[in-house]
Homo-oligomer: A and B are copies of this chain.
Amino acid sequence: MKIISGGVCAPKGFRANGIHCGIRRNKSKRDLSLIVSEAPCAGAAVYTRNKVKGAPLLVTRKHLEDGRAQAVIVNSGNANTCNADGVEVAEKIASFAGRALGLAPNDVLVASTGVIGQRLDPAPIEQGLPSLVAGLGADEEASVRAAEGIMTTDTVRKEAAVEFTAGGRTCRMGAIGKGSGMIHPDLATMLVFITTDCAISPAMLQKALSHDVQKTFNMTSVDGDTSTNDNVVLLANGLAGNPEITAEGEDFTAFMQALNTITVSICRKIAGDGEGATKMLECRVSHAKTERDARICAKSVITSSLVKTAMFGSDANWGRVLCAIGYSGADVDVNKVELSFRSKAGEVLVCRDGAGVDFSEETAKKVLLEKEIDILIDLHDGEAGATAWGCDLTYDYVKINGDYRT
């Protein structure tokens, strides 16, 4: 497997574009994106578990009932959630896109991100579609435009792509994603769209995605708030020409590895671009009793406001990490916990057997001043492990969210 460029346009037969159609006031900001495959795709998706679900998710779920789709249309600037006619509007958008692309509305998936609780006017989308379709491209720049069209408070684009082999054929997989605030996914995260030309059945595609998100998007948190519009979509058009993957085996394993490389890459980008973040935190828990305990523990640490602010201040206040392990609900023996901080500037052990050890504050400061920090927790209590991704809590998070609507 190798890392390549090209985002969602890396796999064969996928085109993309992103334009400004007028949902956002700022004309320099793209607000409408489209991803289309030239051949019908197996489709899989996971959705937020928030009981308040964005209307587009309900429509996408309905359109994916047959396990097939061929295009995704996404707007930013308005979440089309908690309003009276959301589903109707989302269906309209799918119809407009289907008409412009010559596809059945049922083969178009819909997603929206932005403010909750305001009516989404579909008119700018209908009017923008001709130029959105006319500008579709299959190159790296086309994927970039699509990635830009789904950004809200994101400060950097999130893209990833890999090449792998299945059934003796070269396959590719690519993704674009967005997410910066309201990030604490439960079964999925804020919008991520993954494309592949690998041939794989809808059932195996959903199996791969559902399994992967437990270890990736569900282990990522910016602010503890699970969005209403979380949605990860994976489309496979089979144009790589490999024998369709219909069961577990070598090819499915290769597919899962490619998928995990893509999703971990997007998770790290989402965490590192958390609203106001200056640092990406990766918490690795090892030697837990069960994988569930490891996950609960890792996620509790990267979610703690006090751990996050300490990391912002480059302060090795490790008692807060122990505290977050203690209240996590994981089955851990707190008297066995070993804890280190690590970054490219070095590593410092701060706690062993649940109690503090002498360490150099100067070294700790140097380690924590870096932009990517590993929080390494060894529970000395079993064989399971897990990793979670998060970011620091900063003045800018408060600033960005103190007056988001205006």
Stretch from A35-43, A49-57, A164-172 contacting the other chain: A49-57
- B50 near A306 with CB under 8 A, answer no
In the complex, are the beta carbons of B398 and A312 less than 8 A apart?
Answer: yes
Contact check, B225 vs A325: say whether CB atoms are below 8 A apart: no
* A354 with B82, Cβ < 8 A, contacts A306-B182, A332-B51, A397-B309 known: yes
Interface string of A16-57 (1 = CB under 8 A from B): 000000000000000000000000000000001111110000
If the complex has contacts A304-B224, A395-B399, A401-B309, are A52 and B117 also in contact, measured as CB distance less than 8 A? no
Contacts of A79 in B (CB 8 A): 319
> How big is the A interface, by class?
35 or more
Contact of A315 with B by CB under 8 A: yes
Q: Are A51 and B82 in contact (CB under 8 A)?
A: no
- Point out the residues of chain B lying under 8 angstroms from A351, CB to CB: 82, 117
Per-residue CB contact flags for chain A residues 77-108 toward chain B (1 = under 8 Å, else 0) read 00101111000000000000000000000000
Of B117, B320, B394, B397, which one neighbours A318 at CB under 8 angstroms? B117
Q: Is A124 among interface residues, defined by CB-CB distance under 8 A?
A: no
CB distance from A56 to the nearest CB of B (A): 15
Chain A positions within 8 Å of B, measured between CB atoms, are: 48-53, 79, 81-84, 115-118, 181-182, 184, 186, 223-228, 303-306, 309-310, 312-313, 315, 317-320, 322-327, 332, 334, 351, 354-356, 393-395, 397-406
In the assembled complex, 28 residue pairs joining A and B whose CB atoms fall closer than 8 Å, in A order, are A48-B327, A49-B327, A51-B334, A52-B323, A81-B319, A82-B322, A83-B355, A116-B322, A116-B323, A117-B319, A117-B351, A118-B356, A182-B320, A184-B327, A223-B306, A224-B224, A224-B304, A225-B320, A226-B326, A228-B319, A228-B322, A309-B401, A310-B401, A310-B404, A312-B402, A315-B403, A315-B405, A395-B395
